[in-house]
Structure 1
Amino acid sequence: MSTITVSDDRKTASIGGGSVTRQIYAALDPYGLTNVGGRVGQVGAGGFTLGGGTSALSAKYGWALDHVLEYEVVLANASVVKVSESSHPELYFALRGGGNNFGIVTSFIVDVYEQDPVYTGARTFPESQIVPLLEEVEKIFTVEDEQDTNVGLEYRYTFSPQNGWTVSTTQRYAEPVMNPPVFDALNSIPAVGNLTGGINTLASSTSAVGQLGVTRNLFTSLTHYPSLELSQQGLAIMKNLTETRNLTSLNPQLITYSIPAAMMRNSKARGGNALGLEDVSGHLIINLFALSWTDRTLDNAASMLAETFITDFRAAAEKLDAFHPFIYINYANKGQDVFGGYGQNNRDRLMEISKAVDPKGVFASSGLWTGFFKVR
């Protein structure tokens, strides 16, 4: 389940469904190759890819799911099938964004690409610099990553007892260029912390999460069209809710990055997928609201905070005509209507495919595998 092999022609790789991001990059690095993989080293290939898969390389290549050529799947009847666009086109469509509703994926055959070492840098800015920071981020999100597909950028607004509220950026460039000029304007903003950027392999440039199994974690997500005003409002809503409820101990973070228009164009060129975004003409912005805590008595407060934040943020987005219904399944919280965000036609199609390949509902909400998000 974690075996990784490169084809003789160096154009594809077979990746076990139990592999994790750093392991995959490390296996491909000696060949000078990469797949479209994650940003965090411990993230598993299976769930990441079945949910879509946004990557530091997405401006160049798009969603991870658009680079899967074949799935090996164990179906509900215990048969093992090879699923590709030509062999099982409907199931192939469903696996590209439909999550774990259709079977157990044991391996993927994916496209791989020539890849040099990459640049990664980080800076932390005081809260007083939010407005100029967001202005520069917006330019990179909507202009620079369209003109230069090597660009990757994300920012996070977070609270810590030591520094209060700060905004940090992670800057990525998919070529071995130290301090890429595309980030010059952003880096001219006064910062409180500067982690010197460096050039490394993708495996060593992936980030890590804290000690697993210690903290309690909650994700929830919202997508919108680019709007500087809405981005500012989102940070203000988060800060106000967290402080008025005295819940800064939940270590709140709002992590934001773009879905470049090139990602949607790439999906359309690859024949579309279950996400339903191939006809979006411009950029989209993904927001991940994350909480992390250790005191189980705060579980309900954390859930309520996340729910209220998304409700208020969505209301602000709708008021500015910037809301988009897509919810990235890998960042979604229970109760969010992920498949509704794919569009009614895709939702109905996924349900029919589920009934066809799993008539007894083994992988459905009332079956044997009830976790994650269910289409039926």
Structure 2
Amino acid sequence: MFFASGLVTLLLSSFAAGAILKRDPICIRIEATISRASNVYYPGDPLYEKGVSHWAGSSAQVSKCVVEPGTAADVGHVLTILGKTRTPFAVKGGGHASNPNFSSTTGVHISMYRFSLVVYNPATQTAQIGAGLIWDEVYAALDPYGVNVLGGRVSGVGVAGLILGGGYSWKTNQYGMTVDTVTAYELVKPNGNVVTVTKASDPNLFWALKGGFNNFGIVTKFTLKTFPQTQVWGGMVLVGPDNIADVTAATAAFASVTDPKASLITAYNYGFPEISLLLVYDGPTPPPGIFDDFLAIPSLMSDIGTKSFTQLVAGFPTDSTKGNRGVFNSISLLEYTPSLLNVILNETNYWGAKLTPKSGAFISYSVEPFLPSIYSHNTDASAWPPYRAKPFQPINIFFSWTDAAFDNEYHDAMRTTTKVIYDAAKAEGQDLTNTLVYPNYAIFDTPLSTIYGSSLPKLRTIKCLVDPQNVMGLAGGWKF
């Protein structure tokens, strides 16, 4: 026993010594430049492992080092070095991105964990939120003040990615998308300068950051409008295969609900109870009738009740597939008709049966109906969505598996099933012109024109002005 323990210690020491000898010169240069508020970690250090880890295992890579900056100025120093040396890098906020290489790299990995403050300002009714947080932490911090912001709907989602890609929320029916509520961005530009971007200070850049991701630098802090928050009603309901038809009928009928405080996600699953329902009312008790059809369906499990918003989101976990390989994709639809919901159900069962024998698949199609008015809450334009006249709404398709040998097969299946649903919607008569894809759900090779449409030329112009050396092109993600 002592010998085994001593041998492990010796091996770890040898590994650490080897890691020191092989430390990348760019990482060493960064370490010598940043302040004591920041750190650099190398392979073999637990904080390195924490830094590169992602919710989807297929999103993680082995980087030369992990940089955890603690100040915006240090982010500027890091970007300056990376730009001058043309070193590939990644920026990770919450780590919930599933697209490979979007927030990971074999170069220098920047993890934003230390940007973790939530500061509520009652005078301006805004909250400053660090880019390294997940939404669970934000909700918990604001809960004592009786206010909230528009953010992620399930547990574990990162702040930065959701905001920079638009952001659907449980409050979207009432107030619009998360980008509609941003009043300021603290941005480290590619040249290292730290600026606060508002509509007044730089209207074009402010517009571009509302959906433009990391093309213009690294955002370290967001200022968001806050809204009063009471207790809420809702939770998760799991329904077995015998009651699918009732769930589909209730989901289609939900389109007639006009109360903006009522929200729903119906997830058709394979590899889990057949359907999971996320029911939410932004108040302690919903008016009679809104959710009655759903509550009348026999369930396998239900945790519906009145609770805090923090408790509500914590009850929608994403841990069941954490660490697996995974990919999302989406299309935008005008409505969820009964026939289209049946197409979605058939796709769930078809691909579930086909893929489950290959690497233990979990297949899920999440139907996310919103009110037609969701894009009318913002009087200002934004990079995404570029069109606000049509009331399009997303479907979120998620495939999870364990073996990298099947990556291409799962990716191809994802593209195929998305097209089947798109074609079915068009065949029903839905005019899907300018119903652009939500970038936070889109698979990695989605053409930018199908995401940004008419915004794309302007985004490219602003990108060239802000980042003429294309420093941010050294990082992954949607690139203009």
| TM-score (norm: length of structure 2) | 0.71
Amino acid at match of 2:120: V
TM superposition shift of 1:250: 1.1
Could you tell me which runs of 5 or more consecutive residues in structure 2 were left unpaired when the two chains were aligned. Answer: 1-114
Q: In structure 2, what is the Cα distance between the partners aligned to 1:29 and 1:44?
A: 18
Corresponding residue SS for 2:192:
coil
Amino acid at match of 1:110: L
The 4+ residue runs of structure 1 with deviation greater than 6 A are none
Q: In structure 2, what is the Cα distance between the partners aligned to 1:225 and 1:213?
A: 31
Q: Is it true that 1:320 corresponds to 2:424 in the alignment?
A: no
CA contact (8 A) 1:41 1:203 kept: no
TM superposition shift of 1:272: 4.6
TM superposition shift of 1:149: 0.9
Amino acid at match of 1:182: I
Q: In structure 2, what is the Cα distance between the partners aligned to 1:215 and 1:293?
A: 6
* CA separation of 1:212 and 1:225: change in aligned 2, threshold 3 A: closer
**Hey, what does 1:260 align to over in structure 2?**
371
CA contact (8 A) 2:321 2:400 kept: no
Q: Is it true that 1:134 corresponds to 2:248 in the alignment?
A: yes
**Hey, what does 2:307 align to over in structure 1?**
200
Q: In structure 2, what is the Cα distance between the partners aligned to 1:360 and 1:204?
A: 45
TM superposition shift of 1:47: 0.7
**Hey, what does 1:374 align to over in structure 2?**
479
- Superposed CA RMSD in Å reads 2.1
Q: In structure 1, what is the Cα distance between the partners aligned to 2:194 and 2:467?
A: 13
**Hey, what does 1:230 align to over in structure 2?**
340
Corresponding residue SS for 2:303:
strand
Q: Is it true that 1:287 corresponds to 2:395 in the alignment?
A: yes
TM superposition shift of 1:77: 0.9
Match of 1:157 among 265, 268, 271: 268
**Hey, what does 1:30 align to over in structure 2?**
144
Q: List per-residue Cα deviations over 1:3-38 (Å, max 9, x = no partner).
A: 110114161111111111011001100000101111
Amino acid at match of 1:373: W
Q: In structure 1, what is the Cα distance between the partners aligned to 2:293 and 2:164?
A: 36
**Hey, what does 2:444 align to over in structure 1?**
334
CA contact (8 A) 1:102 1:363 kept: yes
TM superposition shift of 1:192: 3.6
**What are the residue-to-residue correspondences of 1:299-310 with 2, within 5 Å?**
299-310=407-418
Q: Is it true that 1:168 corresponds to 2:270 in the alignment?
A: no
CA contact (8 A) 2:327 2:399 kept: yes
* CA separation of 1:352 and 1:26: change in aligned 2, threshold 3 A: same
Corresponding residue SS for 2:369:
strand
**Hey, what does 2:195 align to over in structure 1?**
81
Q: List per-residue Cα deviations over 1:258-303 (Å, max 9, x = no partner).
A: 2322211113x244553123111x4x33111111222222222211
Sequence identity percentage: 27
Q: Is it true that 1:216 corresponds to 2:328 in the alignment?
A: no
Could you tell me which runs of 5 or more consecutive residues in structure 1 were left unpaired when the two chains were aligned. Answer: none
CA contact (8 A) 1:222 1:310 kept: yes
Q: Which has the higher strand share?
A: 1
Q: In structure 1, what is the Cα distance between the partners aligned to 2:333 and 2:407?
A: 28
**Hey, what does 2:65 align to over in structure 1?**
none
Amino acid at match of 1:336: T
Q: For structure 1, which segment, 180-189 or 4-13, has the greater mean C-alpha deviation from structure 2 after superposition?
A: 180-189
Corresponding pairs, count? 360
